[in-house]
Amino acid sequence: MPTGGSERYKDYAAECLRIAQQTMDHGQKARLLEMADAWQRLAEAASKHQQK
């Protein structure tokens, strides 16, 4: 995993959350929150991998 991957994934998660806060469509909001959660999990996994 390239260095900085976890930070990039955190940025993606934050962007999903930002867009979710702006949308009025409940379906899109739910999908964006799911995507943010997935990016956050990837960030955590990448961070653990980088520490090895």
35 vs 49: which has the higher pLDDT: 35
Counting beta carbons within 10 angstroms of the beta carbon of residue 6, is it exposed (0 to 12), middle (13 to 18) or buried (19 or more)? buried
Instruction: Give residue-wise pLDDT tens across range 19-30.
Output: 999 999 999 999
Alpha helices in the chain (DSSP H): 5-22, 26-51
What is the pTM (predicted TM-score) of this model? 0.84
Task: Please give the pLDDT value at position 49.
Answer: 86
Domain ranges of the chain: 5-51
Instruction: Give residue-wise pLDDT tens across range 8-18.
Output: 999 999 999 99
Give the closest residue to 39 by CA, choosing from 20, 22, 25. 20
Task: Please give the pLDDT value at position 2.
Answer: 47
Inform me whether the pLDDT recorded for 52 exceeds 80: no
